[in-house]
């Protein structure tokens, strides 16, 4: 069942969303060659503490990190550690927090240093554009897979692979609620969208094939062909003024 959130719940989710947004902005500014993914995590820890919030990821099914940091061919769920960023890398950062019982979730992919290839920059650019195209479809009366289809159409037109195993999701009192939001699907199908639904829309797009594998740490998802992958995510609410980004 897809929950309809009250005005007050939207306010609470957007409070969590503001913290997520701030963390991503700070980490984006801090992520440069020589910095480790553990350094970035430490910054996130400090901000989460300052706002008396809680990481949505740490401990979730045993995930060890406070945030997810996924480098180059890593798709999602990379664990922060001693890996040092180099010029030419692309880094996906995924942040989720809970504040006063409500969750928000957002991710972005950024180029590190000035040696990132133009093909990697295009992958980042198109994945972000696909997110915003999907968000535009999140209006009352549309169907859920209108969002999925918009993301799939744009990214596949560039020859990219749309990850199948991981999907977006409803969000609110839990990090993951109904519905599942695949990044592929047929237009004009799926549940009817209604005002008050809150969705985390998150295209995970591969430069090559869509197949992925999980590394031996049990978490890190990588592209099977080891080509690059990008990830963008926002938590949004469907409102009578259209889609509202809460992160």
Binding site for Mg ion (CB under 5 A): 94, 105, 107, 200, 233
**Residues whose CB is less than 8 angstroms from the CB of residue 134 and which lie 6 or more positions away in sequence, other chains included:** 147, 148, 150, 151, 183, 201, 203
Among 204, 198, 203, CA closest to 235: 198
Residue with tokens 């609620």: 177
Q: Closer CB to Mg ion, residue 105 or residue 207?
A: 105
Residue with tokens 């990697």: 120
Residue 178 CB, shortest distance to Mg ion, in Å, is: 14
Q: Closer CB to Mg ion, residue 10 or residue 200?
A: 200
Q: Closer CB to Mg ion, residue 113 or residue 176?
A: 176
| Angle between helix 144-157 and helix 118-136 axes, rounded to 10 deg | 160
Report helix, strand or coil for 241: coil
Report d(CA 231, CA 137) in Å as an integer: 19
Q: Closer CB to Mg ion, residue 9 or residue 233?
A: 233
DSSP letters along 42-96, please? HHHHHHHHHTT-EESSTTGGG---SSEEEETTEEE-PPPSSPBP-TT-EEEEEEE
Q: Closer CB to Mg ion, residue 98 or residue 105?
A: 105
Task: Tell me what percent of the chain is helix, strand and coil, each rounded to the nearest 5.
Answer: 30, 30, 40
Edge-to-edge order in the sheet of strand 161-162? 161-162, 204-206, 229-231
Residue 32 CB, shortest distance to Mg ion, in Å, is: 23
Residue 117 CB, shortest distance to Mg ion, in Å, is: 25
Q: Closer CB to Mg ion, residue 7 or residue 61?
A: 61
Residue 56 CB, shortest distance to Mg ion, in Å, is: 8
Residue 114 CB, shortest distance to Mg ion, in Å, is: 27
Q: Closer CB to Mg ion, residue 68 or residue 193?
A: 68
DSSP letters along 118-155, please? HHHHHHHHHHHHHHHHHHHT-STTSBHHHHHHHHHHHH
């Amino acid at each position: 069942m897809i929950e309809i959130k009250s005005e007050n719940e939207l306010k609470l989710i957007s409070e969590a969303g503001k913290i997520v947004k701030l963390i991503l902005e700070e980490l984006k500014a801090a992520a440069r060659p020589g910095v480790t993914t553990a350094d970035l995590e430490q910054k996130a820890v400090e901000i989460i503490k300052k706002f008396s919030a809680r990481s949505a990821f740490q401990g979730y099914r045993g995930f060890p990190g406070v945030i997810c940091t996924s480098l180059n061919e890593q798709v999602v769920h990379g664990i922060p550690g001693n890996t040092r960023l180099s010029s030419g890398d692309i880094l996906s950062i995924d942040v989720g927090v809970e504040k006063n019982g409500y969750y928000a979730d957002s991710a972005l992919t950024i180029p590190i240093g000035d040696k990132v290839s133009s093909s990697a920059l295009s992958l980042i650019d198109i994945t972000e554009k696909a997110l915003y195209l999907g968000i535009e479809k999140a209006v009352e009366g549309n169907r859920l897979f209108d969002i999925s289809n918009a993301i799939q159409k744009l990214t596949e037109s560039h020859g990219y692979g749309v990850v199948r195993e991981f999907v977006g999701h409803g969000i609110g009192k839990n990090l993951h609620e109904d519905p599942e939001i695949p990044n592929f699907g047929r237009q004009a199908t799926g549940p009817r969208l209604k005002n008050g639904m809150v969705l985390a829309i998150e295209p995970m797009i591969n430069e090559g094939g869509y197949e992925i594998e999980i590394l031996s740490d049990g978490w890190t998802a990588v592209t099977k062909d080891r080509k690059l992958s990008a990830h963008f995510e926002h938590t949004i609410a469907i409102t009578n003024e259209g889609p509202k980004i809460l992160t």
